[in-house]
Structure 1
Amino acid sequence: MNSRTALAELPQIERRTLSETTYDALSDLLASGRLAPGDRLSLRQTAAALGVSVMPVREAVSRLVADGALEVAPNRAVRVPIMSAAGFRALAETRMAIEGMAASRAAAQRSQGQLAAIRRAEAAFRLLAESERPDGARAVALNRDIHFAVYAACGLDPLREIIARLWLKAGPIINLDLRAHPARLERGSAVRRHAEVLAAIEARNGPAAAAAIAADIDDAAQFILSRGGLRDEPS
């Protein structure tokens, strides 16, 4: 075996790692609402910001397009999709079912360590939400923390992966709205729903945990739709 043949058999570890790291970074931008619907994403600017070549960015973007989290416009520009009200309703209903399932399983499967993590996340969100001037960006991060602390306890990796992909689509709308409209925090519905989720998981009450997570998702969706920022596509 010559050196060229031997080198050809080596796995492209570094490139694969860069692609995964880039995918994770862009996923976080989407799930955290730092990219909004309609925002364009430059491959070159993204590569420069991450300190990588364009290739891993292109690979990560291709995966996110396949996930439905990004789209390629007719002019070849990469952008965050603009979702219709009908599409958002469908996404919210799907999340209610899938994330409710994860919460139900978390109530049955959670360990003491996982329960402690959920308690910490719930307390941190509640403390911020009840402060005099809650920071919207911080609220976004803490809201995601408590949801994913719950889902981490479900015991099913494929289910968590599905939820993560759903948040790629929902994040630009839900989290951007939470940043812009702290009234959602002032209403206290998120704090109440999170407390209900925690209590149900503490009691190992799966149906109650699923109902509380679904209600939290529905409350947020109804608030966003009530503001009229999303429009139904013409029939």
Structure 2
Amino acid sequence: MESIARIGRVAHATLGAQAYEALRDRLIAGALAPGERLSLRTLAEGLGTSVMPAREAVSRLVADEALEVLPNRAVRVPVMTLSTFRELTRVRIAVEGFAATEAARRLAPDDLAAIRSHDAAFRHEVLAPEPDLERAMRANRDLHFAVYRAAGLPSLVAIIEGLWLRIGPVLNLDMRSSRRRVAEGGAQVHHAHLAAALAAGDGDGARAALAADIAASADFIETTGRLAP
């Protein structure tokens, strides 16, 4: 009986961890918007689990400050203030720019192939007559993190993931604003400059392209007026 009980606890822990990773991935990818409310039942159905693993995932993400529990026990994606957004943007440019510089120094052929693949996927969506905005957001996330992983510094990637847990939903305001914004936002131009600089081993160029990409997105998000005062 003791061995069976241990198996049950392991299975539950595994489901909770899987639910956490799946929901965390959606937040980082920008699939959820600031202020969006989530019910445990809906989350459980979407994740294909019972309510308990979904509740565990939410609890962990609340501890990560990626979700918040309201007084009525409802769960929502936090609404970000303008000052916090500007602070995170400055930190992102510094930290992610450093990662791009390191990636340019260490880039392996497989890394460059992955970056170009994600760049092509993003470009395909944003230039399509009817772009799939969720695919575009995921391709954007995949491109950025392919660059960060290429830096060969796992601790740095973990730091950036923490930043994106908070900033990912806000990027939703940029990428999901309109199909025209996605097509004309210029991200594909910054991505092309980033890929070219990385291929040339140009760390300064890679940092500049990444900073320009982050700054352009941040500038537009501020114009939406959807950040809290």
Instruction: Please report the TM-score for the alignment, with normalisation by the length of structure 1.
Output: 0.88
After TM superposition, the structure 1 stretch with the greater mean CA deviation from structure 2, 180-189 or 140-149, is 180-189
Q: Which residue of 2 aligns with 1:200?
A: 197
Q: Is 1:45 aligned with 2:38?
A: no
Q: Is the 8 A contact 2:173 2:221 kept in 1?
A: no
Q: Deviations over 1:182-228 (max 9, x none)?
A: 33333352111101111111111222212211110110000110222
Alignment pair present for 1:152 and 2:170? no
Instruction: Give the SS at the match of 1:76.
Output: coil
What SS does the aligned partner of 1:141 have? helix
Write the letter of the residue equivalent to 1:101: F
Which sections of structure 1, spanning at least 5 residues, go unmatched?
A: none
Partner of 2:140: 143
State how far apart, in whole Å, the 2-side matches of 1:222 and 1:70 are.
24
Counterpart selection for 1:27 from 24, 29, 32:
24
Write out per-residue CA displacement over residues 41-71 of structure 1, whole angstroms, 9 at most, x where no aligned residue: 2223322433323322222112111111101
Residues 48/187 of structure 1: CA separation in 2 closer, same or farther (3 Å cut): closer
Q: Which of 111, 115, 125 is matched with 1:114 structurally? A: 111
2:60 equivalent to 1:87: no
CA contact 1:30–1:168 (8 Å) conserved in 2:
yes
Give every structure 1 segment of 4 or more consecutive aligned residues whose post-TM-superposition deviation is greater than 6 Å. 6-11
SS at match of 2:150: coil
Superposed CA RMSD: 2.1
**Contact residue 184 and residue 190 of structure 1 kept, 8 A:** no
Q: Counterpart of 1:140 in structure 2: which amino acid?
A: M
Structure 1 equivalent of residue 227 of structure 2: 230
8 Å Cα contact 2:125-2:132 kept in structure 1: yes
Match of 2:188, SS?
helix
Deviation at 1:29, TM superposition (A): 2.4
CA distance in 2, matches of 1:10, 1:137: 37
Query: What is the one-letter code of the residue matched to 2:156?
Result: L
Q: 1:180, CA displacement in angstroms?
A: 2.4
Contact 1:129 1:188 in 2 (8 A): no
Asked if 1 retains the 8 angstrom alpha-carbon contact of 2:174 and 2:220, the reply is no
Which aligned pairs between 1:125-144 and structure 2 lie closer than 5 A?
Answer: 125-144=122-141
- Report the equivalent of 1:212: 209
Q: CA deviation at 1:11?
A: 9.4
SS of residue paired to 2:176: helix
Distance 2:20 2:173 in 1: 20
Q: How many residues matched?
A: 229
> Aligned letter for 1:151?
Y
Is 1:96–1:213's contact at 8 Å kept on the other side of the alignment? yes
Percent of aligned positions that are identical: 51
Give, in whole Å, the separation in 2 of the partners of 1:195 and 1:188.
13
Shift of 1:114: 0.8
Q: Retained in 1: the 8 A contact 2:88–2:167?
A: yes
How many Å apart are 1:9 and its aligned residue?
7.2
| Distance 1:176-1:188 versus aligned 2 partners, 3 A rule | closer
Contact kept in structure 1, 2:191 and 2:213, CA below 8 Å: yes
